[in-house]
Amino acid sequence: MKTQNGADLCFPQFPNISCKENVSFGPTMKLSQIILSLISLLIVALNLLVIISVFHFRQLHTPTNILLLSLAVTDFLVGLLLMPFEILRLTSCWILGDLMCILLGCMACFITSASLGIMVLISVERYVAICDPLHYPTRVTVRTVKLCVCLCWVCSVCYNTLIFKDNVINPGRLSSCYGECVLVVDYTLGTVDLVISFIIPVTVIVVLYMGVFVVALSHARAMRSHITSVTFQLSVTAAPKKSELKAARNLGVLIVVFLTCFCPYYCFSLAGFLDHNSAYFAGYLYYFNSCINPVIYAMLYPWFRKAVKLIVTLQILKPCSSDANIL
């Protein structure tokens, strides 16, 4: 069925309440859809390699790698769930109903909040490893990290459920027509969310890594000048190991890239420049981060390259392959 101006309706059987199809869905939009679909598949494949690597090889069951595994899970969910439905929402009529729109919108916020929470945990873990190395083995254990990750997810779900409570109770209440997916947050809640989901976590990450940077720099100076003691009243035996400093550097790169991809949306919001195009740009920049993270692992972690080789060649199917030495 056609409307008077020639645009197709999303639901011709409901001409009075149906949205119009996206008239701009031409060759350019189709090409964008194909590219985004390929990126989605790449995100799933690369992060699945990370998940299998850390989960399978016992040597990789360390607090730091458990956090990397948790981050890979969130990235995997971005590629598997969020991007396909986001592509559908932006390039065609929404045919899955108002309730599914709300659920997927909430899920996107769950995953985003969990990713940021895991980044905070990574910063805390590196801060303890570098600034308090003597107590690190007892304070930061695999069990403790797993518990913190679970709490991170639980808090993310509870918090975002509260933020989107009105949307969940009355799905589709603000949709102008049948066939679009719209989520709206109250201005007050949006302001609170800006503080809790952006300003506080980013501030914590920056402050903790500044502390890591100061201690690492002090240790490097002490090593260069052959001083037998380290500043901050730490003895040489209590100084961070070279491997810990390298891990801090690698994870620092991961955090910087994450913040570079994560911050534009909130920065545009704070500056008042969050229009239609900037929202798309910021959103897909965040999605792209889910693809770039495994590439960072491949560049910075030799164990990941070894693990991928064993996975691709199906060596992990051999008995006792989980005990392989890949470090």
Tell me what pLDDT residue 156 has.
92
Residues with Cβ < 8 Å from 232, sequence gap 6 or more?
A: 131, 215, 218
Q: What is the mean pLDDT of each run of 10 residues along the chain (327 residues)?
A: 54 74 62 83 93 93 93 93 81 77 85 92 90 88 95 92 78 70 73 86 90 78 57 49 74 87 77 64 80 88 91 89 85
In one-letter notation, the amino acid at residue 102 is: I
Task: Evaluate whether 133 touches 238 at the Cβ level (below 8 Å).
Answer: yes
Task: Evaluate whether 21 touches 3 at the Cβ level (below 8 Å).
Answer: no
Tell me what pLDDT residue 106 has.
85
- Reference 8, options 210, 179, 253, 236; nearest CA is 179
- Whether pTM exceeds 0.95: no
In one-letter notation, the amino acid at residue 239 is: A
Q: Which two tokens stand for residue 58?
A: 């016992």
Q: What is the dihedral of CA 95, 178, 90, 262, to 10 degrees?
A: -110
How far does the chain reach from its first CA to its final CA, in angstroms?
63
What residues does each domain of the chain span? Answer: 27-323
Tell me what pLDDT residue 236 has.
46
Task: Evaluate whether 98 touches 175 at the Cβ level (below 8 Å).
Answer: yes
Q: CA 100 to CA 227: how far, in whole Å?
A: 62
What DSSP line would sit under 129-171, residue for residue?
Answer: HHH-TTTHHHHS-HHHHHHHHHHHHHHHHHHHHHHTHHHHHST
Q: Which two tokens stand for residue 225?
A: 């000048």
Q: CA 15 to CA 3: how far, in whole Å?
A: 8
- The CATH homologous superfamily for domain 27-323 is Rhodopsin 7-helix transmembrane proteins (1.20.1070.10)
Tell me what pLDDT residue 6 has.
39
Task: Give residue-wise pLDDT tens across range 86-141.
Answer: 777 776 777 787 788 888 888 888 898 999 999 999 999 989 988 888 888 899 99
Hey, is 8 helix, strand or coil?
strand
Q: CA 193 to CA 71: how far, in whole Å?
A: 21
